Amino acid sequence: MMMDRSESPAVQWDGKNLFLLDQRILPLQEKYTTYFTVDEVAQAITDMVVRGAPAIGVTAAYGVVLAAKIRISKGGDWRAELNEDLVMLANARPTAINLHWAIERMRPLLDGEESGLVERLSTEAVAIHQEDIAACKTMGRLGSSYIDSGSGVLTHCNAGALATGGYGTALGVIRSAWEENRLSEVFADETRPWLQGSRLTAWELTQDNIPVSLLADGASSWLMKQGKVNWVVVGSDRIAANGDVANKIGTYAAAIAARHHGIKFMVVAPTSTIDRAVAAGDDIPIESRESEELFSCSGNRIAAEKASGWNPVFDVTPASLVDLIVTERGVVENPTKEKIAALFE
């Protein structure tokens, strides 16, 4: 049985097949595509049909189920072939650590008996999905409690229900704060080149009747100068052991501007996004994508023909610029290696 789409719009599972909302064509079209194989799931992650670290993790868990179902049905040395599938799936996108986390959480089940394995994997994937929604709601409440009544909030990219199992990380905080009447205004950067702020964050917030004002990425510093922003609230795709935060390109600039203007900077992410094997942000692999994404908008070229491009998808904000990291296990103020480690004790 599938979850209500209002609760989990990005990822749906009926016990056998996976359904993903194609986020590349929102908000103009709301189209779900059915996925039957792990190869299709990996391609959907690479192509950004689904995006956002927690949502990628949930999707990967279901991808493991599909891979096991097909490999077991074909017989032979299915465990070795399934391992190859998981390596391929893990390589779908390099920066989002939840992808690897979800696969590794599913992997121990693969050592069990073949009988009933697919059902056990499906149960675990659903548990990962439901736990992520619960974590987002917890983080929403925790983060909201730091926001004073009448505050203006700026967010970057999309860290909402579309980027998670449901409810959202950064948008979970914004949703909670709105429900508690703490917010005067919500602002969203457009987030070039994929325009996740314009297309996805604005769509989500307006679906919930939360007013949102869009602005060009380059306008955020000037907005802060006007005194309209009290908090910048963002998600994360990977957090290093020392609290450095990898997130959508443009986050670092927003953090620098926030610190200059005396504005608080909040990162909201589940502990599955924290990569304790990576000491600092400089060690986080940063995905670069095709320059063509910069050159075009809605399929129409807008750049000079002979221009070259540089298209890193993420940047790293040092922990020194982060006031809060909000997780489902608690809030880390002014994060350090020691404070991050304490979350897991």
Distance in angstroms (rounded) separating the CA atoms of residues 35 and 28 = 22
Q: Which two tokens stand for residue 341?
A: 């480690």
CA distance linking residue 37 with residue 26, whole number of Å? 24
Amino acid sitting at position 274: I
The pair of three-digit structure tokens given for residue 57, joined into one six-digit string: 């993790």
Catalytic (active site) residue 237: yes
Eight-state DSSP code of residue 161:
G
Residues 281-308 as b/e (b if ≥16 CB within 10 A, e otherwise) read beebebeebeeeebbeeeeeeeeeeeee
Encoding tokens for residue 11? 């990822």
Enclosing H/E stretch for 317 = strand 314-317
Q: Are 92 and 46 in contact (CB under 8 A)?
A: yes
Residues 177 and 183: their CA atoms lie apart, in Å, by 6
Q: Which of 85, 237, 244, 323 is catalytic?
A: 237
3-state helix, strand, coil in the chain (%, to 5): 45, 20, 40
- Written as one string, the DSSP assignment of 267-293 is EE--GGGEETT--SGGGS---B--THH
The distance from CA 302 to its chain's CA centroid, rounded to whole angstroms, is: 28
- Structure tokens of 81? 């072939």
Q: Active-site positions?
A: 237
